[in-house]
A and B are shown apart, each in its own frame.
Chain A
Amino acid sequence: MQKTDITRPDYFHKVVDCQWACPTHTNVPEYIRMIAAGRYTDAFMLNWYSNVFPGILGRTCDRPCEPACRRARVEKEPVAICRLKRVAADLKGEFEHLLPKVPKRKNGKRIALIGAGPASLTVARDLLPLGYETVIYDEHAQGGGMMRSQIPAFRLPVEVLDEEVNLILGMGVECRFGHRVDSLKAVIEEGYDAIFIATGAPRGRDLQIPGRAEAAANVHIGVDWLASVAFGHTTSIGERVVVVGGGNTAMDCCRSALRLGGKEVIVTVRSGFKEMKAHPWEKEEALAEDIPILNWHNPHSLVLKNGRLTAIRFEKVRAEYPDGRRKLIPTGEQVEIPCDDVMLAIGQDPVFPWIEPELGIEIGKWDLPVLDPVTFESTRPGVFFGGDAALGANNIVSAAAHGHAAAISIDLYCQGKDLHQDRLPPGLNLSSQKMGLHEWSYENNYAGTHRIVVPHAKKSVALANIKAEVELGYDVERAREEAERCLNCDVQTVFTPRLCIECDACVDICPLDCINFIADGEGNELRARLRVPATNPDQAVYVDGPLATGRIMAKDENLCLHCGLCAERCPTGAWDMQKSVIHLFQAGGICHE
Chain B
Amino acid sequence: MTYIAKPAVRNPALPKNSLGLTRRDYEGKISTLCAGCGHDSISAALIQACFDLDLPPHRLAKLSGIGCSAKTPTYFLGAAHGFNGVHGRMPSLATGANLANRDLVYIGISGDGDTASIGLGQFVHAIRRGVNMLYMVENNGTYGLTKGQFSATADVGSKSKRGEVNIYPPIDLVRLALDLGAGFVARSFSGDKDQLVPLIRGALTYPGFALIDCFSPCVTFNNHEGSTKSYTYIRGHDLPIVDLIPPRQEITVDYEPGARQEVTLHDGSRCVLRKLAGDHDLNDRAAALALIEEHRRRGELVTGLIFLDPEGQDMHMRMNTVETPLNALRYEALCPGAETLASINAELR
Task: List residues of A whose CB falls within 8 A of some B CB.
Answer: 74-75, 438, 444-446, 448, 501-505, 507-509, 511-513, 532-533, 535, 548-549, 559, 561, 563, 565, 568-572
> Contact between A509 and B9 (Cβ–Cβ < 8 Å)?
no
A445-B5, A504-B193 are known; give 12 further A-B pairs, CB within 8 A.
A74-B9, A448-B8, A504-B190, A507-B44, A508-B41, A508-B44, A512-B9, A513-B10, A513-B14, A569-B35, A569-B40, A571-B223
B43: Cβ under 8 A from any A Cβ: yes
Residue of A nearest to B2 (CB): A568
> Contact between A512 and B191 (Cβ–Cβ < 8 Å)?
no
B219: Cβ under 8 A from any A Cβ: yes
Digit string of B188-202 for contact with A (CB within 8 Å is 1, else 0)?
001101000000000
Determine how close the nearest CB of chain A comes to the CB of B213; give it in whole angstroms.
Answer: 19
Within 8 A of A (CB), among B223-243: 223, 231-232, 235
> Contact between A571 and B34 (Cβ–Cβ < 8 Å)?
yes
Which residues from B are CB-within-8-Å of A561?
7, 9
Determine how close the nearest CB of chain A comes to the CB of B238; give it in whole angstroms.
Answer: 11
> Contact between A445 and B4 (Cβ–Cβ < 8 Å)?
yes
Pick from A502, A504, A548, A565 the residue with the most CB of B within 10 Å.
A504
Given A502-B231, A549-B235, check contact A511 B38 (CB 8 Å).
no
Given A532-B14, A563-B4, A569-B2, check contact A503 B36 (CB 8 Å).
yes
Q: For the complex, give the distance between the alpha carbons of A446 and B217 in Å.
A: 30
Q: For the complex, give the distance between the alpha carbons of A446 and B3 in Å.
A: 12
> Contact between B40 and A505 (Cβ–Cβ < 8 Å)?
yes
> Contact between B44 and A444 (Cβ–Cβ < 8 Å)?
no
Question: Which among A448, A513, A533, A569 is the interface contact of B36 at CB below 8 angstroms?
Answer: A569
> Contact between A572 and B36 (Cβ–Cβ < 8 Å)?
yes
Determine how close the nearest CB of chain B comes to the CB of A550; give it in whole angstroms.
Answer: 11
Which residues from B are CB-within-8-Å of A571?
34-36, 219, 223
Pick from A445, A570, A571, A572 the residue with the most CB of B within 10 Å.
A571
Determine how close the nearest CB of chain B comes to the CB of A162; give it in whole angstroms.
Answer: 43
> Contact between B235 and A565 (Cβ–Cβ < 8 Å)?
no
Which residues from B are CB-within-8-Å of A568?
2, 35
B13: Cβ under 8 A from any A Cβ: yes
Which residues from A are CB-within-8-Å of B41?
503-505, 508
Question: Which among A438, A532, A569 is the interface contact of B3 at CB below 8 angstroms?
Answer: A438
Within 8 A of A (CB), among B160-210: 190-191, 193
Q: For the complex, give the distance between the alpha carbons of A438 and B41 in Å.
A: 20
Q: For the complex, give the distance between the alpha carbons of A511 and B8 in Å.
A: 7
> Contact between A559 and B34 (Cβ–Cβ < 8 Å)?
no
Q: For the complex, give the distance between the alpha carbons of A237 and B120 in Å.
A: 92
> Contact between B9 and A504 (Cβ–Cβ < 8 Å)?
no
Q: For the complex, give the distance between the alpha carbons of A548 and B8 in Å.
A: 32
> Contact between B13 and A438 (Cβ–Cβ < 8 Å)?
no
Closest 4 CB pairs of A and B: A571-B36, A446-B7, A508-B44, A445-B4
> Contact between A503 and B217 (Cβ–Cβ < 8 Å)?
yes
Q: For the complex, give the distance between the alpha carbons of A422 and B35 in Å.
A: 48
Residue of B nearest to A567 (CB): B35
> Contact between A444 and B36 (Cβ–Cβ < 8 Å)?
no
Which residues from A are CB-within-8-Å of B298?
none
Q: For the complex, give the distance between the alpha carbons of A507 and B43 in Å.
A: 12
Within 8 A of A (CB), among B1-33: 1-11, 13-15, 24, 30-31
Which residues from A are CB-within-8-Å of B55?
none
Residue of A nearest to B5 (CB): A445
Given A505-B41, A511-B6, check contact A533 B219 (CB 8 Å).
no
Question: Which among B2, B4, B13 is the interface contact of A535 at CB below 8 angstroms?
Answer: B13
B37: Cβ under 8 A from any A Cβ: yes
Q: For the complex, give the distance between the alpha carbons of A532 and B15 in Å.
A: 8
